[in-house]
Amino acid sequence: MDILHERCAGMDISKKDAKVCVRTPSTRRRGTFTTETTTWGATTKAVLELREHLLAANVSLVVMEATSDYWKPFYYLLSEGLKVILVNARQAKNLPGRKTDVSDAAWLAQLGAHGLLRASFVPPEPVRELRDLTRARTAATRQRGQVVQRLEKLLEDTGIKLSAVAADIMGVSGRAMLEALIAGEHDPQLLAELAKRKLRNKIPELTEALTGRFREHHAFLTRLHLDHYDQLTVMIEELTGRIDRVMAPFRPALELLHTIPGVKRAVAEVIIAETGGDMTRFPSAKHLASWAGVCPGHHQSAGRTKNTKVRPGNPHLKGALGLAALGAARTKDSYLAARHKRLTARRGAMKALVAIEHSIITAIWHMLTDNKPYHELGGAYFTQRDPERATRRAITQLNQLGYTVTLNPMETAA
């Protein structure tokens, strides 16, 4: 096997330190190599000393695994002067029974010397900052939803069934009722009268649902949950404002993605943050779909291709595509909704959603590559593509219902 990098270093990184194996040609016998493994700290000063050590050894490639977030200080500092690649740990597994930090570092150095590793996508600094913001907003939004769930469980302990009548207990009406409960109002009729707008049509149901045993203990916990909810809301609003400012250079791509059915602004911002908005990094739409984890893997043996699950990919991008697919499936008179309906009947709801995610990410690659908005094919696309098949299917369904069908072509106006 050819040697592409005679002087290569492999790094196994942990929170406190890193094992670094430097692989260099042997001076005793031609065609052989020697390895030297050393331990370096994870502080900035230690990483800078490591960089000088690798430069003095004339290392042409440094390979490191993506271990949690511990790789970041090493990658950012060593990249200033050295060629560094970050690899997926799943693609660089060592042999079973030889799992130590030292052996892992030597294995990475050997694989890197032969060019057997594929570098992971590490976006430039502006995109990394945008990623931090969108991921923080997603985490805060998820935490806010968890606070609402904890509040619902607390109300269940009191016997109050507000969530069974009001769709959103944190809406204007629900919030007013909760504040009144905290203030000491326990009369169900008075609490139900706090309902606003359409919820006033359910005052009898609210009166019954608000009958419970809400004590001072529950008021204390409810106050904490509401304050936590408000804090997270303020955090999300601040993050959204910051994202809007940082998103300025990516505004054209954001406007293009917003034309896809189901892709709202927040979802489009996550897609741009995770992909960088630059499709030149992905040779084709298939490569992007594979990286996102919305396409099946390959499992072929004995000439047979077996069914496989979707590949693991970027979880943040996959989550955004899932939200987009759900929204697209509910968009009336759209191609994606029609495709989802057809696939659901044959393959099931979950596989249909993954197929819609694949269609969306494919469209994103072409849109950002060609700088063109989304082209809507319409909800009647499949019918218009093969009208004879659609006609036969409709006739078959009517025959199964006991009807005899006679087709007469429509007369077109002169």
Domains, the chain: 8-113 (3.30.420.10), 126-246 (1.10.287), 258-370 (no CATH)
| pLDDT tens for each residue of 309-363 | 777 788 899 999 999 999 999 999 899 999 999 899 888 999 899 999 999 999 9
Confidence at residue 414, expressed as pLDDT on a 0 to 100 scale: 47
**Which tops the pLDDT comparison, 307 or 61?**
61
Which residues, other chains included, contact 376 with Cβ-Cβ below 8 Å and sequence gap of 6+? 261, 334, 335
| pLDDT tens for each residue of 352-396 | 999 999 999 999 999 999 999 999 998 888 888 888 888 888 888
Helix or strand holding residue 75 (H, E): helix 71-78
Average pLDDT taken over every residue of the chain: 89
- Residue 83 pLDDT grade (very low, low, confident, very high; cuts 50, 70, 90): very high
Residue 30 has pLDDT above 60, yes or no: yes
Q: Pick from 64, 83, 60, 88: which is nearest to 74 by CA? A: 64
Q: Give me Rg for the CA atoms of the chain.
A: 29
What's the distance, Cα to Cα, between the start and end of the chain in Å?
Answer: 75
| pLDDT tens for each residue of 32-48 | 788 889 999 999 999 99
- Residue 299 pLDDT grade (very low, low, confident, very high; cuts 50, 70, 90): low
Contact 62/117 with Cβ under 8 angstroms? no
Q: The pTM is what?
A: 0.84
